[in-house]
Chain A
């Protein structure tokens, strides 16, 4: 009994095609909608990407051109996009209407087709069901008649009781013959046997014979059961037939009902698909457009502004502690007669150059300027050159290179005041040995040091002249008064130059060594092949390759040199000069501190500004030179 197919394959195909069409319409709709939404953003992204690319790749002039070109392109595109969007809106509205109509049509079509099918299926299976039910009734009643027929039942039971009777008689006969056989065997036993043996023999005989007969009895019983079952066969058959008939009908009817249900479920799944096809399309779309979705997203914001977010804390601190003070310094420098107390009291100060004239007229200013200049101009070139030589050698040794690098770097991590004190000790007198000198009055006086009639400083034993003088004397020279009372300016400056160079070396070596290590070794191999001598390699390969580092070291060296202050404190103490000649080695920064400590903020600010202008000028000169000489 096959049910015929109610939805033809052609109809199924039509529905399927219509569904696909609907989906593609949705696809079109959402794609265009999303695309126009994202177009502007994409344009921005593209243009800024191009710009970045161009900035890296192109020369400056080309870049400016490219920028303008991109800008005009962007404006043009923007206009186009806006126009397109207006057009698109109309298009999309029409499309939406079309989609709605199509959807409703399809919905209706499916409903009609399937409802018809369902109806005809229900009609089709109605007679089948009825037929099934009838035949079920027929068969069951037929079998029930067998089951409850009195004649059959009585003949059956009489036959069975007869069989049982025969069985019982046979069993009794068997028991009897069993007893007889046992007795016979026992009597024929040997008389001479002992009592004990006899007993066990009898037991054995009994066991053997009775087991033989019980087997026979079991056979008989099995036979009997079989025969009874055979007699009852027709009744059991009728019973099983009834249950199978019942089950068969039930199954068939369930099957028929299912055939209707499957049509119903197909109908609803198709209708669901029709009305929700935009969902699957949307899902796909959203994945497609995810990267460029509009609306604020913290993650996106973070990704695009990462740099600024990380820079913010430092930026705030810089604003508070650097930018504001600089602006304030400039302001104060131009306020005549400025005082902080007056400022707090709301006093208005006239603007003018009074502070600058004060600085220039200040007696220590020219000395400070001269000292600063001399120290800077002497130390920067020498220390840079020495650092270059040392780093080239450090780079060329292979054994213990780490150890040496550490040693050369140690001064950098040592406090400069502490180094200053060590220098003072080296150039000073260690372990004073007071000497008795006859004064012009004739009495003996105890001096640490004195200048004799010829102007030579005396007053110490040889070993107390400090290690530098000791060395000088070792090679037969005359001891020099480096930093003590009455020492000459040249001696003082010499000590300071040595000290500052020593102090500045490690940092410069560090930078230059780093630069050297990042130079591709292949250039040196190429130079070797090209037959370059060591000197040529140094001047024509190493120095140009290192030129960015050298420029850096020179520029920072000049800036540091102009800010020299603590080194002089380290060697000479806060007097800024040898005892008896305080201030003779003062620097501009030293002067600024002096002004501050004497509450002269206007003068301090003006001096700071002058220093700033000097440093700016020198740095600009440096940059100008390096632009011509440095290879980046």
Chain B
């Protein structure tokens, strides 16, 4: 299986199953719901909503982010009222007062990691 890029045109490079319509990020070559291998590119974002966050006080294994840094899960609408939840780091300054659950976030493109910024632009 080949590795697909995380981002395409500033959006999440998700995959959509042509058999059961399940949408999954990161994109893989099979469907996590029905095990079909019939998957198409499906772009998601860049605007989402912060579902939860925490703070990490230690260095991440990859990505070279300096601790402490906030880490989050954000929700992105897809289609037919569905959504996907995506994990990533939040770009913010201590004491991270801008970070509030249910607020808007926007994707920041990166090669290795998913990153968000608080706000909608």
Do the two shown chains form a genuine complex with each other? Answer: no
